[in-house]
Structure 1
């Protein structure tokens, strides 16, 4: 599921290049193809995240997958900008439903908060794989003269297979043994979680991280084009063939490094202080963005994709530690809250960058300056988290009450 979602969501930068030409839209208008689906994820995560606790993980996942599949197959008849954006928004709502179910399920199958973090990194590693496959598939389709919309049709086929698998797989029975707590879950209680300092703290971290990360896969292809105002992608300004090839496949390079880092993250989070790792890696992201902007396209060509290594473990760890601060019968609801802020960051970040870039003549460089600001705020927050360690007591209590019986 994570891989399938990434195939579509992380291909948006490549798709935007085609849509801007086909429909003659501005940067801000094209960014709606990313921002509105993220808004759909945000709202469904916040208002429908409780379904994973109320109905159970399995029904929630199947409902979300079914809606996502319908949206994907509808792309076969999508040839209007408004209709395309509407379908992308519907797919976002569906993702918010099945992803909260999946995130809650990870808690059900984990036997400790440490294992929860490792498992979350493993799941997000498959997201990283999908993020590699998607842009490559879009590039191949376009090169073969096939419409990019077929990416969604392919994703719909994967979704259909996942529905069959979800129907056949036997799920853990945790929610059924805690039915009294699950029955009390509601939208009101989910909204109340926003005020909880643990949920809000990790949610804000997710917001800042995703706002910075989305700059790479949404706007890096536009930034690395030699002539920012050209209607066609040109890479003649790079000195040799290898540099031009990297410019063309920069998003893929970023996702390859991020996916590799997430598999390594499974090991790292089992052996090192998670707060220290996040602080160091977030600082490295700021350096990659800062030096990449200072050195221009020739330097950014290498440093922007390199940031993928340092981004790899941040979001899965935010998700895991944030969810682990709560009892299992609330995992779906708190996953929805974190997902709301995640998607809000993914929606607001590129939109703000697009607006700023348009106001400065259309150069995506100015959008990356905004992204560097987001990354810097994230680093400051993670320095505080490492020095003060505000979640240590809470995680210890949850470890004893929720996972103690399992080892």
Structure 2
């Protein structure tokens, strides 16, 4: 099979695959009631599935740079879609809870390969819009997933049908990547390979010795944790602490995700490139929104989530696309994998911490928690910028001193 892909074909495939990732992730919440009854599991057992999937996702993401040093981008995409297919179809077939957990681990591993690989493709692209649209596509997929699964279940199909369907789409993309495997190359990897000896390629251990990379990891942990905290806790805050009707609260939460997706489409349309002042401006908007969420001044207390979503929408894509600029091309593939892994950790730890704080001081503290996280995030970003520019300033000063000495 000889399939030739144009640049626009690759753009469409990349965005569609990331949307499919979002669709897959968001489906669990809808299938869980039927799934747990199939295996006779309690409500809280969903935490086991999520944890197992997250651990495998982290392991694969942490090793993304190592994998890309050994395999081509085409091989990574083929392997990621194939493994995800096996995991999803295994979930559809699983006769026991233990085998379902194993299938969840396999599916998470496939996602852990695809997520940083797709972000690497977007980071390498000369058009900044791709990174914004990539994450907008994930949001669109995450919105469509529950609708598709709900429709299937309402039509009388089993929850297993959903996994057969999503796995089938991943299987199709796996065949597509197999047919075009040589056409997917990492430009960063090629540039590094041409300028360095393959035997001396940067290792994960070397990457972890650089403070700038640790700061980038911390940034993504805090940012994703803050974003997920707003999404997970706003509904409870509005309904239980502010006596807003469930329908209205649901609309506000949907508006939060909608504003974030719309923002990423908008910023992509304007080809918003990475710049420190743009990150600071976006975070300032998030701080204002978080302040309004905390102060709860009339309707602005709820509309604040829309402000947060719109202002935060550009942060993740811009920071991810600016990875090479911050850490250098040689460390980019490792760093992207580490950032994706830390984002997953943040999505679990930070909302959990917010829950502990809310359990002790009440749900109204959620706004203050988000505000504090946004302020801390701003300081971490400033620290990251300082760590990036400090070596250049030292080198420039040394060069001037040497020139004057001569």
Q: Same fold (TM over 0.5)?
A: yes
Q: Which residue of 1 aligns with 2:376?
A: 377
State the Cα distance separating 1:264 from its structure 2 match. Answer: 1.7
In the aligned structure 2, how far is the partner of 1:106 from the partner of 1:127?
Answer: 13
Q: 1:105 to 1:254 in 2, by over 3 A?
A: same
Contact kept? 1:44, 1:93, Cα under 8 Å = yes
Contact kept? 1:64, 1:97, Cα under 8 Å = yes
In the aligned structure 2, how far is the partner of 1:15 from the partner of 1:223?
Answer: 25
| Cα shift readout 1:69-107 (whole Å, capped 9, x = no counterpart) | 111122324587666555444322211212233233335
Is residue 257 of structure 1 aligned with residue 272 of structure 2? no
| Cα shift readout 1:316-369 (whole Å, capped 9, x = no counterpart) | 111111234355454322221222212221232233344555x549x7666665
Q: What is the Cα-based RMSD across aligned positions, in Å? A: 4.0
Matches within 5 A, 1:131-280: 131-141=142-152, 150-169=161-180, 170-172=183-185, 174=187, 175=189, 179=193, 181=196, 183-184=198-199, 189-224=203-238, 226=239, 238=244, 245-268=247-270, 270=272, 274-280=275-281
- 2:87 alignment partner, one of 54, 71, 77: 71
In the aligned structure 2, how far is the partner of 1:92 from the partner of 1:192?
Answer: 26
Q: 1:173 to 1:50 in 2, by over 3 A?
A: closer
In the aligned structure 1, how far is the partner of 2:376 from the partner of 2:77?
Answer: 34
In the aligned structure 1, how far is the partner of 2:153 from the partner of 2:248?
Answer: 18
In the aligned structure 1, how far is the partner of 2:87 from the partner of 2:332?
Answer: 27
Larger Rg: 2
Q: 1:252 to 1:85 in 2, by over 3 A?
A: farther
The more displaced of 248-257 and 197-206 is 248-257
Q: 1:24 to 1:227 in 2, by over 3 A?
A: farther
TM-score scaled by length of structure 2: 0.75
State the Cα distance separating 1:48 from its structure 2 match. Answer: 4.0
| Cα shift readout 1:41-71 (whole Å, capped 9, x = no counterpart) | 2221113432123211111111111111111
Contact kept? 2:18, 2:138, Cα under 8 Å = yes
Q: Which residue of 1 aligns with 2:283?
A: 282
Q: 1:125 to 1:378 in 2, by over 3 A?
A: same
In the aligned structure 1, how far is the partner of 2:161 from the partner of 2:291?
Answer: 37
| Cα shift readout 1:248-276 (whole Å, capped 9, x = no counterpart) | 355543332212111222255547x7322
Q: Which residue of 1 aligns with 2:312?
A: 311
State the Cα distance separating 1:382 from its structure 2 match. Answer: 3.6
Q: 1:137 to 1:211 in 2, by over 3 A?
A: same
Q: Which has the higher contact order (CA 8 A, sep 6+)?
A: 1
Q: Which residue of 2 aligns with 1:231?
A: none
Q: How many residues are paired up?
A: 371
Unaligned runs of 5+ in 2: 1-16, 396-406
Q: 1:17 to 1:152 in 2, by over 3 A?
A: same
Q: 1:135 to 1:367 in 2, by over 3 A?
A: farther
Is residue 56 of structure 1 aligned with residue 75 of structure 2? no
Q: Which residue of 2 aligns with 1:43?
A: 59
